[in-house]
Structure 1
């Protein structure tokens, strides 16, 4: 296992923020993580911790996939794990559906495109979402009415505290809106965090402890298109196609996202910066009374999801800047890096802008926007 020192991270985060990793390890197979567990045990001994106890947050390894959901506020003193495990394969097919497996280091969009090319639909609404397969369950990614939790069958991971592999089903991942067990720290005190991970109680939290190595997705037959979102409804009206094929839905989503969101290779960004907030029916009606044009969607539990980009735009933030960080002029939900390299935005400028937007939206609507990216 090769440990690289003082590695520039600018090309490893889609915001293009200049920063360095004190040490970086490329994870190309699950076995690499088993070796890493030994290093972590040595760190615990040096810190005077028992083998089953967790390291302080500033000592835990930082797992880096595609770098599309992260804001670096400075150099990273922690060990960075660059996930590069490859592999795409069909594990099983029967009359009910397809079971597909992908390595954590594969680009998510490459997986979606591959399934469409192999005539295995079901992921097309999530086309062009940036990042890697391994990061998808952490964030419970989703777009245009489909979330990863709707398609996840199971996943494999490695416990960094013990070096042992384990698997979780979708139900054991404790999915929520842009949330999962992998975003929450293990609970303190006695329990499964002091020994092997028990999948039945993994909901206690796996952040800083578990690293996903492979993901399996179940794509059901017969295929049913998900076309409830307004952008897709408009495409149906524009094209006159009322029964689009999976490839047509895929192409529509790719085209919509390319028109809405900037290419990180041209303009640094982390995609949608804020989660769409959910409110009660009463809150939604109150806002509609003041803002009849607000974009909102009913949820299965009776609540309503509001378009965060609409709220930010209504507060006048589109095109505004703090240093070299700005709000994208075509989509207020996206914060962008308006410079490059040393002359580009810093993580501090990005977060100053984000906090100013949060304050503005709260003062006008009483809604607290929650950032999607991880701030390091």
Structure 2
């Protein structure tokens, strides 16, 4: 008799995973395969589950994120009811979308087939389909419109001294100082021998590659921009309109079909309460870039879909913040030992080029219109 093939592909058998699947209504006998989507054993590991002919993603979350995940899932379910394409969540036997074990929370959603773009492919895709930035802007606009409606139609405006982006709502300028934390990690002596900072280790590396030399050449300019942003303040500009934001609007979380239409937005796990304009800017610089025509299409579609007036100044600040923060975070990961630069190098190079575009006059201004409020258009945006 031939041996029964194992359902475990690339990971050790784990009774806890089978118990979680059972709680989600997936019986052992129906499971055809389980394989890791990221390195198994990390606290946020994800598994691809094939069961009863269907495909699912099982995700493990830290146990202290219950309220945040419940809010995010409530938002996802509302989006799905409104016709927005998300990866449908699977409900557990108790009716909720989360299963708790001794040291983890688990969620499960459908696998969505399709394609992902990278930031290196964005401009070619936009040349083939000039309306792509508008569809991406409309996608973000619908996210924020549903967020606004979830708050009963009234944008939440926090007074000065109340912050953004976390449950405690501490310091409104906290996000502007966030690149400094990554800088400290680059400059802090490492615990492991020889105890040198990450940047110093790179300088002493004997066989530097092109990316290494690029880092050493451009890092001083990125550091300069981080310092400039840290000295900026939102005080005196009026409290920002705040609601639930996705907080991770990057190409890897967007599933497209072959015609570059949206199939699903993934990974709401990082959703927080934050300023809508900061998410608009951080999404725009990745999804539309700094080309003035594409950026106008993105912002116009966003404003028409969301009904939220675009503050161009805050958007520009957020675009620069996204570039600086993401470059520094990527360099920390790379210099700490993750040497796969297949996606990381073009990501950093594109964001640095965008940062230069946004600050090409040396005063933090960007190309395009300089008015505070974006005029937008009266026409309806393309549906995502």
TM-score, L = length of structure 1: 0.22
Structure number having the greater strand percentage: 1
Structure number having the greater helix percentage: 2
TM-score, L = length of structure 2: 0.22
